[in-house]
Amino acid sequence: MQRFRFTTFMTDNTGSGFDSQIFTLIVGREEKVYTAHATYLCQSPVFENICYGHFQESQTFEIRLPEDEPQAIRALIQYFYTGRSSTMALSNPAGDQQAPQLN
């Protein structure tokens, strides 16, 4: 499995969000692996329930999304971290190997 960690490319001296639990997301049939902080994932009510609800994922810190497209989840996580959407994340499947575009 390939791992892509959004936090590797992000810096934040305030500590906002970067001290929260890191979740592993395993996405699609090819099981593409992403990691992201709970604080950022929980911008979505769905992920908030998964991360802090009474679900197995809140104990294992692993979220499996076998029916989702890796590029879509990558774009969503990128949006959570940057506040910007990028068509590059959806149009370039090879983009999974690259850092999020922050410009």
The residue assigned the tokens 């099981």 is: 31
Residues paired with residue 36 on neighbouring β-strands, in sequence order: 23
Tell me which DSSP letter residue 99 carries: P
CATH number of 3-97: 3.30.710.10
Supply the pLDDT for residue 70.
95
pLDDT of residue 7: 43
Non-local (6+) Cβ contacts of 51 within 8 A are: 21, 23, 38, 41, 42, 57, 58
Q: Residue 3 corresponds to which tokens in the numbers above?
A: 């791992």
Q: What is the mean pLDDT of residues 33-52?
A: 94
1-34 residue pLDDT tens: 555 544 434 444 445 567 789 999 999 999 999 9
Is pTM, for the whole model, over 0.85?
no
